[in-house]
Chain A
Amino acid sequence: MKLKVRDVEFSYASIPVLKDVCLELAESEILSIVGPNGAGKSTLIRCIDRILAPEKGAILLDGKDIKKLSRMEIARKMGYVPQNASQTFPATVFDIVLMGRRPHISWRSNEEDIEKVMQALQMLNIEELAMRDINELSGGQKQNVFIARALAQEPEILLLDEPTSNLDIRHQLEVMDIIKNVVREKEISAIISIHDLNLAARYSDRIIMMNNGRIFAAGNPSSVLTRENIEYAYGVEAVVNNYNGIPYIIPVAPVQDIKERDSENRREVLV
């Protein structure tokens, strides 16, 4: 196992966000995390990258507890693409991607680092943007730049927080294809939090479904994305069809008693 998450708990200002989260990530696997807003998907990803420190439980990277690793050591193993990254002062795309080399060098970038940046840009097909200012780019282009930065890090695990949320359908497919190709070519693993169940079904090896800070379903796409699970997690009545062996979800209508059920759930979490 590449990564193990064991009984992780986390809360923001004593409101529990993650409860008893356990998961395992295999080598060269794409694992998607789905679930409604506020389910704890992004929090889990941040805990895995130690941007947040869980209160309980452990996260093991190649069998080592990440609490015992330095930030640099973690950064050499895991690359993180945030949901909406901002940049205060202007910077060229090239310089942004070059920052991905920070875990490997301390100050001066050499020819090899420039080459690595070029490779990352090429992989995402954004070389023509190299000298542009990041703040002038569209949402989709920015997303690609941040993925390129994570690739320049040469990580063994790629963590992506809703990489498709601001993109049109073409860019969504392109980004997911890129992630899939990178995982196959470099034999790395990826954890992706994602809202679009159909994209998750199509691109993931495994899916975990979260609700109220807990994982309640995990497995291959067809075993997780069932009518019952979707109704339970999202409170949405859905039709699950099959398209070339991949589940294909059509949301139909919100279920009426979701509020009632949710408040029960919350009580359960607080107890």
Chain B
Amino acid sequence: MAATVGRICGAGLLKSANGASVTQISSFSTSREWTRGRKALMGTLGMLAGGTGALLFALDRSVKASDLELHPPKNPWSHDGILSSLDHAGIRRGYEVYKQVCAACHSMRFIAYRNLIGVSHTEAEAKAEAEEIMVTDGPDELGNMFKRPGKLSDYFPSPYPNEEAARAANNGAYPPDLSYIVDARHGGEDYIFALLTGYCDPPAGAVIREGQYFNPYFPGGAISMAQALYNEAMEYTDGTPATASQLAKDVSTFLKWTSEPDFDDRKRMFIKAVGIFSILIALTYYLKRHKWSSIKTRKIEFKPRN
């Protein structure tokens, strides 16, 4: 190691600095300046290395550009800001869309009716929603399973008893569970919105088999879900005009909430953290200045003996 350093820097680093000048000592440097030739060499080498890296990166990216995948455009969601909460009226409308359109094929196993309370529904409304479904419960004292109306603690019903039944009913394709779908797809709610509104005729060359539809936002393009949202496909209870894009926006907001039920709490906690940390930082800065003030204002005097 010492030999290598010595060969590169010259002996300057290793020798004790006998004839070192005052300026050298004051800059604490014992290495010699590079010659012009060496600087030019090193500069060229550095540029070559950087250029090669950039070229390799560009070649790699150009290979990836062959993916036939259309990325969803970014939409200005009302919950996009760092302090912005979800739009709760949108969540409520989105629940209506889910219940009347999506729930025909998609399950939502991890959301219970009690989760709606204080988010999109009052307790009485959530109870009424739960009572609309029939749940298999039991066993009773005779060991038989029985049906009862849903309770607040029940989870959303699944349209199919298991995955095999779902595949059999949907041409072999499995409608995914929608509980965490926004976090489970690249692009999040933008992807959901683009997918729901992005159906179009297949371009020439696209292979669409029986029971499949073309959607450029779906990886591969061939999707087994038919377009579900049309203008006036359903009616909102709050009277909002039910255009296809409104339906898609609301259900995307609803799915964002089901994927991240902690969304609003996270924003609240962020505001709180900013508040407390700004106080703590100010306090720390003052304390540092206070403790160092005696050292920073100290003068050291050097008196030679003679």
B is bound to A: no
A residues near B, CB below 8 A?
none
